[in-house]
Amino acid sequence: QGGGSAVIDMENMDDTSGSSFEDMGEMHQRMKEEEEEEAEGEAGAGEEEDGEFLGMKGLRGQLGRQVADQMWQVGKRQASRAFSLYANIDILRPYFDVEPVQVRARLLESMIPVKMINFPQKIAGELYGPLMLVFTLVAILLHGMKTSDTIIREGTLMGTAIGTCFGYWLGVSSFMYFLAYLCNAQITMVQMLSLLGYGLFGHCITLFVTYNIHFHSLFYIFWLVVGGLSTLRMVAVLVSRTVGHTQRLILCGTLAALHMLFLLYLHFAYHKVVEGILDTLEGPNMPPFQRVARDIPVVSNAVLNTTAKGIALTL
């Protein structure tokens, strides 16, 4: 019995030891599974954090693209609006919408000085008449160049005439508008362009007559009468729109001097200046260089003979 009980105890011990080993293995397996689960959980959390980070970056990229697209569209609309503003012909239509009867009446009025200077005189705010007068003055200058003794070389002189006429019209109008602003005169740039443009009507008449009838006395008469009337018209209009005797004297004296001197320049000095410019750019009108055969003079023959005799005697 004692031996049987010992065997039973050994079996029990073996059973308990086996069960304990199994329990240890299960615990180790559970711990390993728990560690793997924790590692998987941490990896999943890291992936979720990376996904959230990438999502934020993608969201920021989309917002940046949307802002850039919106700014581009706004800039494009502003550019197209500005381009259509300057390219639309309807903006310039009021300045050229005038009837021929009105242009004719304004041409006649430009030669009649106004008497009432106590209140501002009306100035036509259109540019059709002044522009046509500038082109007419260009044509008269070209006609005067052809009828005078000026030698016309290659090409035409239209560029010089256009530059002179438009330069005077735009340049003097801008200068007078700036001076009128300083003198506190009530006039706009368009009105100044119109006033000075219609003032060229007297210049056109004077130059057209004097280019065809070459008398200096006739030119001086037209310069004083026709040019003086158109200048007095502009001066009277500016006086009516300027306050202060000093301001009136400065503004009107400057305009009258420039306008009358420009007519003198066109009649006397314009052709010479253009001819000088052409000589500078193209060179003087000289005949082509020609080679002419020349005979050896007798003196040269005598010198050669004497030299030859001297060499012969020496030898």
Six token digits for residue 79: 């550019």
What number of CA atoms fall less than 13 Å from residue 295's CA on the CB side?
4
Start-end of H helices in the chain: 2-87, 93-96, 100-109, 128-147, 158-182, 189-212, 216-222, 228-240, 245-264, 270-282, 298-314
Identify which of 34-38, 44-48, 84-88, 267-271 has the greatest average pLDDT: 267-271
Measured CA to CA, the distance from residue 75 to residue 108 in angstroms comes to 50
pLDDT tens digits for 227-265? Answer: 999 999 999 999 999 888 999 999 999 999 999 999 999
pLDDT tens digits for 46-93? Answer: 555 554 544 555 666 677 777 777 888 877 777 666 666 555 666 777
Question: What's the pLDDT band for 176 if we cut at 50, 70, 90?
Answer: very high
pLDDT at position 24 over 80: no
Q: Using CA of residue 162, residue 163, residue 165, residue 167, what is the dihedral sign?
A: positive
Residue boundaries of the structural domains of the chain: 62-97, 100-105+116-281
Q: What is the pTM of this model?
A: 0.61
CA 58 to chain CA centroid, Å, is: 45
CA 294 to chain CA centroid, Å, is: 60
What number of CA atoms fall less than 13 Å from residue 41's CA on the CB side?
6
Give residue 168's pLDDT.
Answer: 95
